[in-house]
Amino acid sequence: MKIITDTGALLSPKEGEKLGVGVLPLNVIVDKKSYKEFVEIDSQEFLDMVKEGHIPSSSQPSIGETIEMFEQYPDEELLVINMADGLSGTYQSTMSAKESVDHSDNIHVINSMTLCGPQKYLVEKALALKEKGLDIHHIMKELHKSIACEKSFLIPQDFGFLKRGGRLTPLAATLGGMLKITPIMTTTKDAKRLEKYAMKKTLKSAVKEIIKAFQELGVNEEFKIYVTHAGVLKQAQDVVKQLQATFENTIIEMYDLSPVFIAQGGPGCIAIQTIRK
């Protein structure tokens, strides 16, 4: 069995290779030039471009690239863990690629309903269960248990990026002129778009609101928490400290956001996510 994911899981193709995972890079487009994230451009290089005033966009791996990946493993069962359908077209292009190969019955595609840290965790969990000798159907069942207990929040700094990306509900899209306060966004129930969760005066009070939501979800040592950020390391470190004070026994990991997510959430954004292990 071969596990395949995309760079929405914050893994580069090289890192995936070390783990034995196939990783398809998503793309960012700047001035009509496309770059494969974590291959042709890293997060800091991309942030520098954005700070120079360039307006980026993003796109999923091409169907051709996905087919090429699938055709490397004609005799293996493939488990594909894609970032949330709707927040990216990756899941839909993966399904199209699946139908285009002869061994489509061997390809099992999971819409992770998430991205970034929790998606990375799903890949790690799949690898661990594979090591234990579980079959693909059992692994998928266990992954869906984690997906059912996942929650994601985004605190944007530049609302224009979210509006341009079209990943907002109509109500949330009207918040663009209200950035004197701190908006908290969360995914809709189908995880296809972002909607307003709350509005707070400061980052600290926004994190308090997210902590309350995590407590209501029952977050404890059986969960993992992820903090990812777009070029605001000090703020992200402060968020981790604030979370750790409440969730003392919960593992909290911090990462830089990928170029594609920065293109969606904007420079300075912070994502705070949790998933059941």
Mean pLDDT of 53-74: 93
238-267 per-position pLDDT tens digit:
999 999 999 999 999 999 999 999 988 889
Averaged pLDDT for residues 218-236 = 98
Pairing of strands 78-82, 107-111: parallel
- Rounded Cα distance between 79 and 97, Å, is 14
2-26+61-147 CATH pick, 3.80.30.20, 3.30.70.2860, 3.30.230.70, 3.40.50.10440: 3.40.50.10440
Q: What is the mean pLDDT of the chain?
A: 93
- Taking each helix axis from N to C end, the angle separating 233-246 and 203-217, rounded to the nearest 10 degrees, works out to 40
CATH 3.40.50.10440 domain range(s) in the chain:
2-26+61-147
Q: Which residues contact 20 (CB under 8 A, 6 or more apart)?
A: 2, 3, 127
Look at domain 150-276 and name its CATH class.
alpha beta
pLDDT on residue 172: 64
Predicted local confidence at residue 7, as pLDDT = 97
- Comparing 63-67, 181-185, 252-256, the range with the smallest average pLDDT is 181-185
pLDDT tens for 78-122 read 999 999 998 888 999 999 999 999 999 999 999 999 999 999 999
State how far the Cα of 111 lies from the Cα of 173, in Å rounded to an integer: 25
Q: Looking at residue 51, what is its pLDDT?
A: 87
pLDDT, one tens digit per residue, over 2-35 is 999 999 999 999 999 999 999 999 999 999 999 9
Region(s) of the chain under CATH 3.30.1180.10: 150-276
Q: pLDDT band at residue 171, thresholds of 50, 70 and 90?
A: low
Q: What per-residue string of b and e applies to 193-209 under the rule 16 or more CB within 10 Å gives b?
A: bbebbbebeebeebbeb
